[in-house]
Structure 1
Amino acid sequence: MTVHGKMEIDFEIKAPADKFHDVFSCRPHHISNISPDKVQGVDLHDGNWGKAGSIICWSYTHDGETKVAKEVIEAIDDEKNSTTFRVIEGDLMKLYKNFVFIVQATSKEGGGSIAHWTLEYEKLSEEVTEPYSLLQLGVHLSKDIDLHLMEQAQAQA
């Protein structure tokens, strides 16, 4: 068993890639209104919303427990619709030495997008299980955001 790991998943969403990306890159503090059962709050601790180097703190529910994660936004790539978050404090640091989330959306021909989540991590020990449920949390959160964006688009039409 290895202590370094990487997990990825792709799935379809209906929302445009740039709109989906904007939620994670510039408006993560809106996610608690979009998906309150999964994310209870996202607070800015340092920097500015939508800027690499900013530090944000997530209060979220994972595996039925309320948890926190302080993250630095390492990179925002508006051309690739990608945002990279590195966890620097919080519950995940009890199990992992390093943990990085990358959320990206790519436009599909004919409409909609492909959402792509990447989790890169280094476990503190071989006994730590792979973060499958955390990857699934990202998928479910993304689907909530997709539904919200599509409802917004219909309301504006």
Structure 2
Amino acid sequence: MALTGKLEVEMEINSPADKFYNIFRRQAHHIPNICSDKVHQIDVHEGDWETPGSVKNWGYTLGGTSMSLKETVESVDDENKSITFKVVDGEIMNHFKCFKSNLQVKAKDEGSLVKWSLEYEKVNKDVPNPDAYLEFAVNVTKDIESHYLKA
């Protein structure tokens, strides 16, 4: 069984690409207000909300368990609306040596195409694939889409 892997999901949403991308690029502090049942808090630990290399603390619930993590923005490509996040601390690191997520948003007719990908390296072969984290990203995406459709 491989210790490294990649999971991906693509989904169409009815929110404008610029708005959806911007919430992760510059306004992550709004996410707990949009999906408070999943994300309890996000604050800046080091740096600021926008600069690659800045570190953010996330408090979230996954599978009924409250957890936290620290992530840094590893790379940003505003032209292609793509951000790569790298987890640097938190409970997830008990199971993974390396855990990165990538968000890419593309404008599409009346909405957007959102692609999430997770790249990881497990600490051992007994660790399950992080499917729950991919599902978490999908559910947060749906909550943000609903928020923008109401606005």
Query: Structure 2 length as normaliser, TM-score?
Result: 0.98
Answering whether residue 4 of structure 2 is matched by residue 4 of structure 1, we say yes
User: 1:102: how far off?
Assistant: 0.7
| Runs of 4+ in structure 1 over 3 Å off | none
Q: In structure 2, how many angstroms separate the alpha carbons of the residues matched to 1:149 and 1:74?
A: 27
Answering whether residue 60 of structure 2 is matched by residue 60 of structure 1, we say yes
RMSD: 0.7
User: 1:148: how far off?
Assistant: 0.8
Q: Percent identity?
A: 41
Give 1:119's aligned residue: 118
Q: In structure 2, how many angstroms separate the alpha carbons of the residues matched to 1:33 and 1:42?
A: 10
User: 1:40: how far off?
Assistant: 0.1
Letter in 1 for 2:124: S
Letter in 1 for 2:133: L
Per-residue deviation, residues 38-70 of structure 1 (Å, max 9, x unmatched):
000001011111111110010000011000010
Answering whether residue 128 of structure 2 is matched by residue 129 of structure 1, we say yes
Alignment of 1:66-85 (within 5 A): 66-85=66-85
Per-residue deviation, residues 50-109 of structure 1 (Å, max 9, x unmatched):
11111001000001100001011111211111111100000110000000011111111x
Specify every segment of 5 or more residues in structure 1 that has no aligned partner in the other structure, as ranges. 153-157
Letter in 2 for 1:140: N
Per-residue deviation, residues 93-150 of structure 1 (Å, max 9, x unmatched):
0000000011111111x21011100000000001000011110010000010111112
Query: Structure 1 length as normaliser, TM-score?
Result: 0.94
Q: What SS does the corresponding residue of 1:127 show, helix, strand or coil?
A: coil
Letter in 2 for 1:124: V
Letter in 2 for 1:99: F
User: 1:151: how far off?
Assistant: 1.6
Alignment of 1:76-155 (within 5 A): 76-108=76-108, 110-152=109-151
Q: In structure 2, how many angstroms separate the alpha carbons of the residues matched to 1:78 and 1:151?
A: 26
Give 1:21's aligned residue: 21
User: 1:16: how far off?
Assistant: 1.0
Q: In structure 1, how many angstroms separate the alpha carbons of the residues matched to 2:112 and 2:119?
A: 23
Q: What SS does the corresponding residue of 1:145 show, helix, strand or coil?
A: helix
Letter in 1 for 2:38: K
Letter in 1 for 2:51: K
